[in-house]
Amino acid sequence: MKLHHLGYAVRDIEKSKVVFEKLGYIACGDVTADISRNVNILFMTGPDSTPVDTNTNSNFNAVIAADAKCSGLIELIATLDYSQPSPVKGLLKKQACVLYHPCYECEDIEKTLSVLTQTGFYLLHDIAPAPAIAADAVVAFLYNPDVGIIEILQLTH
């Protein structure tokens, strides 16, 4: 597995975006609503990444095609509807922004989950589509008390 991105839970994507831009990050297209998780998501490439033409790349899928390495990739995640549950809502009660999870890319998500659950990780959510990343991407979230939450990503399913 390789590190794909770091996910930040934020209260306000636009405010956080402005600060990350001051650090040299560039938005990878527009904010995407992930209705099934009740979150808005924005990916940004870091100063170490290959520059991305945001005028031609309207979503993250185009960024993957442009630069599969994207070493400085981050994901900003905010609750879409605060009257409903969301995976980041509780994390943001005391802080406006918190590092939420690292995401690791794998070739075979079922095999990876099998290995990780046998080594002390607990599956938090079953494999689900990841529309903010790509039409055919799937993810799963796991937890280990000594590591915290991690996300596993398979780009083609």
* CATH code (residue 40): 3.10.180.10
> Are the beta carbons of 42 and 60 closer than 8 angstroms?
no
Q: What is the pLDDT of residue 124?
A: 95
**Between residues 76 and 51, which one has the greater pLDDT?**
76
Residue in the block written with tokens 């998501």: 41
CA 130 – CA 77 distance, rounded (Å): 13
- Write the CB contacts of 156 (distance below 8 Å, at least 6 apart in sequence): 136, 137
Backbone angles phi, psi at 15, to 5 degrees: -65, -45
pLDDT of residue 17: 94
Look up the pTM and report it. 0.80
Distance of alpha carbon 87 from alpha carbon 103, whole angstroms: 15
By residue range, what is the domain housing residue 120? 2-154
pLDDT at 62 over 50: no
Provide the pairing of β-strand 2-10 with 74-79. parallel
| Number of domains present in the structure of the chain | 1
Residue 74: both structure tokens together: 């981050």
Each residue's pLDDT tens digit, 105-148: 999 999 999 999 999 999 998 999 999 998 899 999 999 988 89
